Amino acid sequence: MTILIAMPNRDPQPLVGAIQQTAPDIRVCIWPEIGDPERISMAVLWQHPEQLAESLPNLQAVHSYGAGVEHIINDRTLPVDMPIARVSGPRLSASMVDYLFHRVSSVKAGITAGEIKIGILGYGQLGRAVASAFLQQGFQVMTWRRRREVSDEVAVFAGDQGLTEMLGQTDILICLLPLTPATVNIIR
């Protein structure tokens, strides 16, 4: 098996090392040095070059190097039935929380956490981790999702009316929704 890593603006070496340590029999190539394209059966992609998939006749699955898959779904050269996987889990959640704490701290200068109402669009794995982390830091947290859900931790808004209601109360908005036709331009 040969895996192609194509993520032009990211350092692939940590991933290459992890693959080689875990599964030393798997060959890894890094775009643009792909060698024989017929040997590649899986690709790990992040903002990959357009039409890359066209040059990989035996590609059986793709994996996004991030939580989002829109860069893969939008690649019209991939077969519509191509299996797609994405990153998830505690390490991704921790990275997202760290990133968001940094971003929020840059805008909250001089304001205590308890005075800030954070609204989170999306209450899946990432949304729950982010909500919990901000609650632990003393922020007021509310979330929005398509369907109503009861939560002991945060106020959960749902549907179009719930979105409008939550946005009206939000000081800082965090969007963790997947980019799909249903979420494009959700904030009008």
Residue-wise pLDDT tens digits, 32-41: 999 999 999 9
pLDDT, tens digit, for every residue of 50-97? 889 889 999 999 999 887 788 888 888 888 899 999 877 788 888 889
Report the amino acid identity of residue 92: L
pTM of the model: 0.70
131 exposure class (CB count in 10 Å sphere: 0-12, 13-18, 19+): buried
**What are 59's two structure tokens?**
């590609």
- Strands 140-145, 155-158: pairing is parallel
